[in-house]
Chains A and B, each alone.
Chain A
């Protein structure tokens, strides 16, 4: 289980996150939605220990973290049990797609798992190409495959569909559901409500660094706060 309590983060004196708490179980998909600048990515970076939060506590499986961290160099990082896929995928440009998705395995490749992941993301045809020789959608799939090859327990996804078209986004979402069914806890960060509503077990609406509303998918149909109502209304107009 991943439990974050009262996570707060200041950047340049400005409070970006204010007491954000979340609890993610195995096999669960939580979507964090909100407008640009609401603190979604900062929250993801905080709970994945890329940028330490200023205050709060975090439990990732057996590992517990109390912030502020006193001795950064002694921190035991939760990777690759917890891993992250970024909005810009950061597929290493000097390696082929195959090398990208197997690099962190240090040669200990579970061939069946590799074949399953390659099949899941339909990657056979471009496995031996370099990142600059494949499409954006293929790079996206490679980034997800790279993280799944590590057999993570928690997968944090930051706007991973933002650069994809509707068809590719739905393909990825279908894959996410399959991944969650295998017991992986997923946090899916997005500003796209229609995508979040399709795959989430829980939805959290973040605005100005605070949780404004949270609950099951129903909150997207029957929002209780004016802020979420407005956000949904604007989103619907755009779609």
Chain B
């Protein structure tokens, strides 16, 4: 069986797995974007409270393997609480948490390190706070953070593979199941690699392009 034959034969399962992967990704990306920005901005403004919480939480998360986090949320936590949550929700929650913390750190660092002199320069030129935010701070911060943000999102897409380990029927798990039926690991996992490359490579290239185009030296040296 060739790769094409496998895809045609198992198209329904593959599409179903693909939709689960994309759905999971969409939840992770959107939650990271929305809550990560809010959390990061709060951590910047409230350094002693939210900022400290973010620091501690990100240290704990950075020291915990994703797999352990997923398993812990899926098995012991649910047993302790006496609840049953479907694996998709658990995976979405765990990976969203990782993404939110990652985005929040990017946003907080960008805000903390933003040269205040650029805003002072705007102020002494007679620009209002709103204009300074819209025309100076936001574009500079966007340009500085977008490459890191895209790289993180690519990593998050790749991390969705771990969801298969708590039985989420995403693309990798579907590929594993097909392989257990027909045993064609080279063809199946090559097809899977092509799928991830097709999505991740353009995103990585976009991050690289943004980095080269927009990441200017802010030091004025």
Interface of A with B (CB < 8 Å)?
A: 48, 50, 77, 79-80, 82-84, 86, 88-94, 103-104, 130-132, 139, 146-147, 150
Contact = CB atoms under 8 A, between A and B. Distances in A.
A211 B127 CA distance: 33
6 contacts: A79-B126, A82-B124, A86-B121, A92-B121, A94-B214, A104-B122
B216 A103 contact: no
A132 B136 CA distance: 16
B205 interface: no
B124 A132 contact: no
A90 B140 contact: no
Interface string B194-221: 0000000000000000000010111010
Contact of B216 (A77, A84, A132, A150): A132
A86 B124 CA distance: 11
B217 A132 contact: yes
Contacts of A86: 117, 120-121
Given A94-B143, A103-B135, A132-B216, A88 B117 contact: yes
Interface string B117-141: 1101111111100000001100110
Contact of A103 (B123, B125, B143, B218): B125
Q: Binding site of A, secondary structure by majority: helix, strand, loop or mixed? A: loop
A50 B125 contact: no
A92 B220 contact: no
B218 A93 contact: yes
Interface string B84-119: 000000000000000000000000000000010110
A180 to B, nearest CB: 19
A139 B124 CA distance: 18
Contacts of B118: 90, 92
Interface residues of B, number: 21
B124 A130 contact: no
Contacts of B135: 103
Nearest to B119: A90
Nearest to A51: B120
Contact of B124 (A50, A88, A94, A131): A50
Nearest to B140: A94
Looking at A91, A93, A130, A146, the one whose CB has the most chain B CB atoms below 10 A away is A93
A83 B124 contact: yes
A135 B135 CA distance: 24
Given A88-B220, A89-B220, A94-B143, A104 B117 contact: no
Given A89-B220, A104-B127, 6 more contacts: A48-B124, A80-B126, A90-B117, A91-B220, A94-B214, A150-B126
A231 B117 CA distance: 30
B174 to A, nearest CB: 44
B123 A92 contact: no
B136 A79 contact: no
A103 B135 CA distance: 9
B220 A80 contact: no
A90 B115 contact: yes
Given A86-B117, A88-B117, A132-B216, A94 B125 contact: no
Contacts of B123: 50, 77, 79
B125 A146 contact: yes
B212 to A, nearest CB: 12
Looking at B122, B124, B218, the one whose CB has the most chain A CB atoms below 10 A away is B124
Contacts of B127: 103-104
